[in-house]
């Protein structure tokens, strides 16, 4: 009797594509770490600039700042600075993505047998890990100047989680801008725009001190919801109230980032697939 030997079929787990996408994404994350290790200048400058802003607002301008209801301005400021730091990350993400696109690196990745989503996953993961490290440095800076969290331990970690949730959503804003904008001038424009977006919020001053119409716009800035929620959870002074958006700051600090994430993740994937330059 003749038997035919057949090679056993390889057991392919149903989630193998996702597994390879994650592995490829982690490889590209390590690539970003290698770039930062060889060229740490932008990261160091970003951290130094954030700390400089804290020192400037606390020691140069803090004496003239009035916190609604009273309280320490530094306790009022630091939740805003933690959030503002997350906003500043958009420029770094946009610059990194644009540089890869302009140099043809992204096209090389697209031509390789690499999961298309791995390129975006790797970028987002690297920037998220950098953001966690940046926030840790900012927390230490806040403690060094006398800031303290007066809320519960659970409130502290909830505030940190909401701040990082916003950062994760803003990463995808930066990825989309990096895929669609061309040239260093465009990136510089993004970095410049971070300031008016941040100032038109409750980051540095209470929105109740602004003209009515301007305060309403500032209250509906997604940054303001995260800042107000963080202040509430940290037990900081100057908690905004009086309108629906400010009275539901914690809820909106979840909803705003999720909306941004859904919109800009979809736009980023579409822009990556249709990339032509």
3-state secondary structure of 245: helix
Predicted confidence (pLDDT) at residue 225 exceeds the cutoff of 60 = yes
Predicted confidence (pLDDT) at residue 116 exceeds the cutoff of 80 = no
- CA dihedral 163→168→173→177, nearest 10 degrees, is 120
Long-range pairs, 201-204, Cβ under 8 A, ≥24: 201/80, 201/227, 202/80, 202/227, 202/228, 202/240, 203/80, 203/81, 203/83, 203/84, 203/227, 204/57, 204/77, 204/80
Per-residue confidence (pLDDT) for residue 7, from 0 to 100 = 41
Q: Which residues contact 55 (CB under 8 A, 6 or more apart)?
A: 145
> 7 lies in a domain?
no
Q: Which residues contact 189 (CB under 8 A, 6 or more apart)?
A: none
> 182 lies in a domain?
yes
Least confident of 65-69, 112-116, 161-165, 207-211: 112-116
Q: Tokens at residue 108, please?
A: 């090389």
> 263 lies in a domain?
yes
> 170 lies in a domain?
yes
> 110 lies in a domain?
yes
Nearest to 49 by CA among 21, 85, 13, 75: 85
Q: Tokens at residue 103, please?
A: 């140099």
> 14 lies in a domain?
no
- Write out the residue range of the structural domain in which residue 141 sits: 23-62+70-273
The total number of structural domains in the chain stands at 1
**Other CB atoms within 10 A of residue 86 CB:** 24
Distance from C-alpha of 258 to C-alpha of 261, rounded to nearest angstrom: 5
Provide, rounded to the nearest whole percent, the portion of the chain with pLDDT above 90.
Answer: 56
User: Would you place residue 18 in the very low, low, confident or very high pLDDT band (cuts 50, 70, 90)?
Assistant: low
Predicted confidence (pLDDT) at residue 6 exceeds the cutoff of 50 = no
Sign of CA dihedral 131, 133, 136, 140: negative
pTM for the whole structure: 0.88
Q: Which residue has the higher pLDDT, 124 or 68?
A: 124
Nearest to 60 by CA among 74, 81, 80, 76: 74
> 246 lies in a domain?
yes
Residue tagged 């202040």 (tokens):
231
pLDDT digits 0-9 by tens, 146-168: 999 999 999 999 999 999 999 99
> 197 lies in a domain?
yes
Average pLDDT over residues 112-130: 83
Q: Which residues contact 159 (CB under 8 A, 6 or more apart)?
A: 79, 149, 151, 229, 230, 233, 234
């Amino acid at each position: 009797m003749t038997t035919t030997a057949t090679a056993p079929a390889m057991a392919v787990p149903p989630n193998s594509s996702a597994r390879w996408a994650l592995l490829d994404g982690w490889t590209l994350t390590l690539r970003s770490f290698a770039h930062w290790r060889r060229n740490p200048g932008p990261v160091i400058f970003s951290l130094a600039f954030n700390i400089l802003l804290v020192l400037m607002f606390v020691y140069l301008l803090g004496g003239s700042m009035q916190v609604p209801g009273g309280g320490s301005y530094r306790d009022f400021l630091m939740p805003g600075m933690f959030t503002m730091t997350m906003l500043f990350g958009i420029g770094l993400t946009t610059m990194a993505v644009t540089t890869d696109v302009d140099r043809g690196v992204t096209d090389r990745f697209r031509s390789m047998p690499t999961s298309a989503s791995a390129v975006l996953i790797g970028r987002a993961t690297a920037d998220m890990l950098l953001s966690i490290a940046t926030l840790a440095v900012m927390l230490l800076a806040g403690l060094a100047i006398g800031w303290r969290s007066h809320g519960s331990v659970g409130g502290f970690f909830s505030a940190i989680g909401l701040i990082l949730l916003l950062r994760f959503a803003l990463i995808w804003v930066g990825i989309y801008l990096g895929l669609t904008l061309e040239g260093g001038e465009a990136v510089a424009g993004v970095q410049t725009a971070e300031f008016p977006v941040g100032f038109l919020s409750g980051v540095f001053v209470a929105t109740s001190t602004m003209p009515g119409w301007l305060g309403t716009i500032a209250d509906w800035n997604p940054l303001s919801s995260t800042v107000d929620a963080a202040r509430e959870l940290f037990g900081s002074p100057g908690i905004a109230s009086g309108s629906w958006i400010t009275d539901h700051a914690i809820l909106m600090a979840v909803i705003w980032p999720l909306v941004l994430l859904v919109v800009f993740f979809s736009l980023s994937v579409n822009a990556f697939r249709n990339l032509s330059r």
